[in-house]
Structure formats: structure tokens, C-alpha cells
Amino acid sequence: MASHIVGYPRMGPKRELKFALESFWDGKTTAEDLKKVSADLRSDIWKQMSAAGIKYIPSNTFAYYDQVLDTTAMLGAVPPRYGWNSGEIGFDVYFSMARGNASVPAMEMTKWFDTNYHYIVPELGPEVKFSYASHKAVNEYKEAKALGVETVPVLVGPVSYLLLSKLAKGVDKSFDLLSLLPKILPIYKEVIEELKGAGATWIQFDEPLFVMDLEGHKLQAFSGAYAELESTLSGLNVLVETYFADVPAEAYKTLTSLKGVTAFGFDLIRGTKTIDLIKSGFPEGKYLFAGVVDGRNIWANDLAASLITLQSLEGVVGKDKLVVSTSCSLLHTAVDLVNESKLDAEIKSWLAFAAQKVVEVDALAKALAGQTNQSFFSANAEALSSRRSSPRVTNQSVQKAAAALKGSDHRRATEVTARLDAQQKKLNLPILPTTTIGSFPQTVELRRVRREYKAKKISEEDYVKAIKEEIKKVVDIQEDLDIDVLVHGEPERNDMVEYFGEQLSGFAFTANGWVQSYGSRCVKPPIIYGDVSRPKPMTVFWSSTAQSMTKRPMKGMLTGPVTILNWSFVRNDQPRHETCYQIALAIKDEVEDLEKGGIGVIQIDEAALREGLPLRKAEHSFYLDWAVHSFRITNCGVQDSTQIHTHMCYSHFNDIIHSIIDMDADVITIENSRSDEKLLSVFREGVKYGAGIGPGVYDIHSPRIPSTDEIADRINKMLAVLEQNILWVNPDCGLKTRKYTEVKPALKNMVDAAKLIRSQLSSAK
């Protein structure tokens, strides 16, 4: 019985690629150095999967930034501002598209479906001249072959690529991106021919858009595209892979009828309803790649249950046509449990990271073929039983408190306009008040202090002294820049979710459980294994300390319950909303303690609220109801004069703007600059927003420093659709990934722009 892995983590077990990328970007190493690190990582991954017995091993899943940007490079779809005209696309153009450079901004970045991974959004239109400009897919296939490993080259499918794109600036909104299929398919044909020439026998097209709600003409585009590719694909086995949700019935019909396609891959973890579609009809003679091992979470597979599922499918498609697979790429999980020293033995036995999931896939394939590893299956059953019965998982008082939430919507008693009046009397802010989102640059020295404190190499007294000095530095910088509402810079935090999880019960933490978010940015998601509560205050000391250093308002900085949930590996033994309500109650305790501690402005970040929105519209309402309710629980008990902020980053918000309003925050700061100010369009279309709002005025994910005039122009665009008395001026997101040499001039220009517009508004009266 055959086995398959959809994709694998790229960063390496100890984030080797992250450090290689950052060293290259800083000019400390060469392109050849970066290529060697990545080649070594690819070699290790391919050999590991081959040794584990995996038959269908992916190649071309190793991106320096993301797989959609790789496809943009392959198609030569480089926006004109980057100055590329022809030839093989190199690192300079590739990374300029991803990160911007000194003279031009980066392309838009957004979330990859409902994950915390990101991709660079292609900018397309009728004038784009496509050409075969990156041979990476073929080169990586040849690279693996030279190592003695036969792989399945993976390409982002042509229809999904176009549907994940956006119209380039200036392109008429009526332009249909799918009309570009005839222009990009010839390039796909060139790639396919080169792969065939290099000896490839299989090819995988990732077409995740099949799981979305698609109109008929979009489904027809899939049929037309693969019909056009059919003759070129002749002689190859072709897998079309889907993931992240059920495939709708109509899409399933289209998918399983595609010309030239040999195999179909389905996520049977998040798409359990697809099993019924398969059982009701699967094309004879085709392969089913059954994604029964979860690629998005870290819990050990229930091998016995998965085997039952596989055996039922075997009766439908035939023994020789069933392939055991992961539900999606393992990119979304941590790399290897072997590297974990922090986890205790009991919790560790409940988990499987990417390397362990490869072993699970192989074990299931062998069991299906009658070669069951009894000791492996027995150990798995014991671990599952241990998790179900462990007293660490259940806290009756927490469950009782969460159950008591039913029957109330937890809204603040006073309308937001009245609250804003009370807050202005207390805060006395100018129009267009300036602030930042929370974090300031995380210097090498600051990281060293935190690392040495965790390793018990320095005393708590020395640690507190160092963090206080860093807070004072950040406060002084903001006062010198004349920012109105300050932050303490979060020097005590490595990560906005990990920091809180470490202080909440029901969470466990890894030493090396890193997961790529975008580019070189990695996060280490906490593991929520049990009921959640807050044993003691988490941020009050640091926020109160920072407030004592200034007479200006100091924001208390918290991460909201939905974001903690969506940026963690969440327990799968109870509904997600129940876990979220537990987290909300814990954050509510912290909010009320901050207020008692003299903090009058409290920011509860919900950066990931939009990210968790289900992919199917029929499921949106239920999710938004409990997600928004969870946020309101956190702050329903504060006084009118306490100003509650929230922040949301890289997402599409227009379709959920009414839910954002329903959160009932006093001020929301929100990504705007990198997405061509799409957010503002919702207000142009007549949506009324009465609370404070700060659409980001510059992109912090790029090293580029915007000018005062550029920021002032953005503010004026905002004032065209928003009242001046509710508009805030702030960057898109936190500043932790930037350097002070970038942050100081950018913030100075931001404050100068706000003052310039204030002066113009005053003169106009």
C-alpha cells in the first residue's frame, strides 16, 4: 500500500533557513551560502521521507518565501515597479516583491486560507506579459533525483493561482482574472514538458480553491484548464490535491471529472463530509490520496480509527488505488518531537510533529497492506487512553464558569459614542491621535537577556532591571517623538501568544516547535491540552511600571482569546468555541486587574479573528457569533472611561465589517497600507463606523521608510471616508521585526504627518 506527504516544513528543525535568510538579507552572507543551507535541508527532508518508506515524496515545496510567490516567479508575473524585464528571476527581484526595497514597496501579503501562514498576493491584469522565468520546480526535481530520491514535483494549480491573485493597480474592476488562463497555461506546459524530460512520472497540482464556495464559471475554468493541459500531461500520473475543508458536491463532480488527471487528494480531517461523496461515487481506475493524518495539528493520530476509515474507502476505490496521505502540507506543524526537551513524558506521548506524522502515514499504509506494527499501534492506543483519562485535562470549576456564560451577550452597558466622550475627558487627546500597535524592536541584547533568564544564568533581579531599562528606553523614544498614546514595547515577550500561554493553566510549551508564518518569521505555538484558567496576573506589573515612567497614557497590551486560540495548537477533544470561552474568562480577569492598576487604555489584540473564519459561507455565522462574543466577554466589566482597543492584521475585513463593529471596541487599529487600502472601500460604500479607528498608515513588514508626504497622503485618503474625530494614526502592526534604524525615522515621519494634517484641518476651520 502506497504513502504520500503533501508537503513538509522548510525552516529546518532548528530554524536553519530562518537564520540563513536573515543573514543574507543583512548582507552578512552570500546567495551561494543561502542556497547551500537550503539544499542541505532539502536533502535531509527527502532522505528522511525515503528512509521512512514514503513512496510519493514531494519536491518544489521548499520556498524561500512562499509557494505562491514561487509561482509568480515561474510565470514571470513581476509588477513593473521592480524593474525586471527578462531572464531567470534572482533573489534581488524575488525578495523585493516579498519585502520591498529602499525605493519601492512590497506586494500585498495575506493569510493562506484559514491558517497563520501567509502568501504574497500576485498583481495581475491584461497587460502582464507572462514568461517562463523560474526553473525552480525542474531544478529541485533533478536535485532530488541526483540524490537517488524519486519525487513528485508540486505546482500551485493554474486556476487556484489566478483565484488567489488580485487586480493590479489601475486595472478595471470588471476584468476577469480567469481570462488570463490562456496566457499562463503555455508556461505550465513548458514546465510539464521539462519535468517529463527530466524523468518525472508523477506531478502534483495543488488546487485548494476546490474547497471554497465557487460559482459555476469558476468550476468550468478548472475543467477548461485541465482539458487544455491534457495532451501535455499524457504519460504522467497527475494528482490534484485539495485541503483545509470539505469539497462541495458540485466541485467534487467537477474535480473527479477533470481530463488527464489520475489521482485526487482530499483532506479527510477537516473534510469528513467528503468521505460520503467518495462512497457515493468515485471514478473507476483513479487513485484516492486519503488525507487521514492531520497536517495542521500536533496530536498523535488515532491509528485504529484511521485504519477503519481507510478500510472503508478501500472497498470503494480498490486496494491498489488507495494511497495514505497527510490532510495537507506538514508546513503547518512543528518539525520533530525528537528535539523537545521541555515537554514532560506524558504530554509528549500524546503528540506527533511532522517527522512523527511521516512515520504514522507509513505505519497506516503498511497496516492496510496487512503488515501492522503491533507495538506501534499498541503504544498509540495507550497514549490516546492516557490523554482521555488524565486529570491534567479537566478542571471542573473552569467548565462550570464557562457554562455559566450562556444567556448573556456580555455587552458594555453604555453606547460607544458616550464612552468615547468619557474617555476623551480623561485622556485629553488631540485629533488624529498617534500610537503604535504594541511591540518595539527585539534587539539581540534583549533576546539574550530573556534567554539567559529562562536558562537561569541571570537572577530575577537582574532580569527585571534589564527589562525596566528597555521599557524606559522605549518610553523615552516615544516621548521624544511626541507620540500621544504610548506602549511599553513588550520587551518581556518573545511572542504575543506564547507569553500568555506560559502563564495560563492548560498550556504546554515546546523548545523547538517552530512553525513558519511568512518569510523568515517563525512562531512557536503553545499547545492547549486542557481547561484554561489564569492563576495570577500576567501583565499588570510591567504595564504599571511603564505607566509610572510617563504622564501620557500607557496602553496595557493583551492578546485576545480568539487569537490565542487560532495561534495555538488546540485540543481536539472538545469544540473550539468552548476552549475560546475559557480563554476569554482568563483575559477578562487580566483586563479588570489592569484597570485596577491604573491603566486607562487597554489593547486586546484580535489579530487572528478573521483568520479563523471557516472557508464555507454557511459556517461563517456560527464562528463569528462565538468569536465576537468571546472578545466582548474580556472587557464587559470595565468602566466607561477605560478605553478598549483591539488590533487586527493581514486579512480581508470588508466581508466581516459588521461583526467587527459588533465587537464593540472603543478603538480598532487595522491593517490597511499593504492591501492598497481595501479597508477604506467599505466606508466609501456607506458603512457607518462610530468608534475610533486606525487604519495602518505604513507597512511594518518592509524595511522601507515612508516619507512624511506619503503618510500624509494616506491620512487624507482616510479622512475622505472617516470623521476626523474618530481617526487614529498608527503603523499597520507591531514593530518587533524591524530595526531601530528603520523604526525611529518611520515613526517620526508618521507623527510629523499627523501634525501636518492637524494644522491643515485647523487652518481650514
Quick one: CA torsion of 493, 495, 498, 501, rounded to 10 degrees?
60
C-alpha cell at 607: 489579530
Predicted pLDDT at 175: 97
Residue 85 CB neighbour total at 10 angstroms: 9
613-637: per-residue pLDDT in tens? 999 999 999 999 999 999 999 999 9
| Strand partners for 505 | 533
Residue 171 neighbours by CB under 8 Å, 6+ apart? 124, 125, 126
636 labelled ligand-binding: no
Assign 469 a pLDDT band (cuts: 50, 70, 90).
Answer: very high
What burial letters (b/e) apply to 172-208, b meaning 16+ CB within 10 Å? eeeeebbebbeebbebbbbbbebbbeeebebbbbbbb
Predicted pLDDT at 678: 64
Assign 262 a pLDDT band (cuts: 50, 70, 90).
Answer: very high
Predicted pLDDT at 700: 86
18 labelled ligand-binding: yes
Could you tell me the pTM of the whole model? Answer: 0.92
Place of cell 537550503: 38
Residue 456 CB neighbour total at 10 angstroms: 8
Residue 270 neighbours by CB under 8 Å, 6+ apart? 243, 244, 245, 246, 296, 327
C-alpha cell at 652: 480581508
Closest CA to 598 of 557, 665, 635, 547: 547
The dihedral built from the CA positions of residue 528, 532, 536 and 540, taken in this order, carries a sign that is positive
296-317: per-residue pLDDT in tens? 999 999 999 999 999 999 999 9
Helix or strand holding residue 258 (H, E): none
671 labelled ligand-binding: yes
Assign 406 a pLDDT band (cuts: 50, 70, 90).
Answer: confident
Predicted pLDDT at 687: 77
Average pLDDT over residues 192-205: 98
Q: What are phi and psi of 295, to 5 degrees?
A: -90, 0
What is the rounded distance in angstroms from the CA atom of residue 688 to the CA atom of residue 316? 54
- What DSSP assignment string belongs to 29-43? S-HHHHHHHHHHHHH
Give yes or no for residue 650 having a pLDDT over 60.
no
What is the rounded distance in angstroms from the CA atom of residue 279 to the CA atom of residue 283? 11
647 labelled ligand-binding: yes
Give 515-527 as a 3 state SS string: EEEECCEEECCCE
The dihedral built from the CA positions of residue 57, 59, 63 and 64, taken in this order, carries a sign that is positive
4 labelled ligand-binding: no
3 state DSSP class of 59: strand
551 labelled ligand-binding: no
User: What is the residue type of 149?
Assistant: V
Predicted pLDDT at 689: 82
Give yes or no for residue 685 having a pLDDT over 90.
no
580 labelled ligand-binding: no
Q: What are phi and psi of 178, to 5 degrees?
A: -70, -15
Assign 90 a pLDDT band (cuts: 50, 70, 90).
Answer: very high
Closest CA to 490 of 295, 657, 303, 734: 734
499-529: per-residue pLDDT in tens? 999 999 999 999 999 999 999 999 999 999 9
Report percent pLDDT > 70 for the chain: 98
Average pLDDT over residues 105-113: 91
What is the rounded distance in angstroms from the CA atom of residue 620 to the CA atom of residue 614? 6
What is the rounded distance in angstroms from the CA atom of residue 675 to the CA atom of residue 582? 34
701 is catalytic: yes
Give yes or no for residue 676 having a pLDDT over 60.
no
Length of the chain: 765
What is the rounded distance in angstroms from the CA atom of residue 558 to the CA atom of residue 675? 25
Residue 276 CB neighbour total at 10 angstroms: 10
| Strand partners for 729 | 434
What is the rounded distance in angstroms from the CA atom of residue 425 to the CA atom of residue 427? 6
Predicted pLDDT at 670: 87
270 labelled ligand-binding: no
Which of 4, 332, 488, 701 is labelled catalytic? 701
Predicted pLDDT at 583: 98
Assign 715 a pLDDT band (cuts: 50, 70, 90).
Answer: very high
Task: Indicate the range of 423-432, 478-487, 667-676 predicted with least confidence.
Answer: 667-676
757 labelled ligand-binding: no
Helix, strand, coil shares, percent, the chain, to 5:
45, 15, 40
Residue 1 neighbours by CB under 8 Å, 6+ apart? 319, 322, 323, 324, 365, 366, 368, 369
Mean confidence (pLDDT) of the chain: 95
116 labelled ligand-binding: yes
Determine contact, residues 602/638, Cβ cutoff 8 Å.
Answer: yes
What is the rounded distance in angstroms from the CA atom of residue 23 to the CA atom of residue 32? 12
Predicted pLDDT at 677: 62
16 labelled ligand-binding: no
Predicted pLDDT at 702: 83
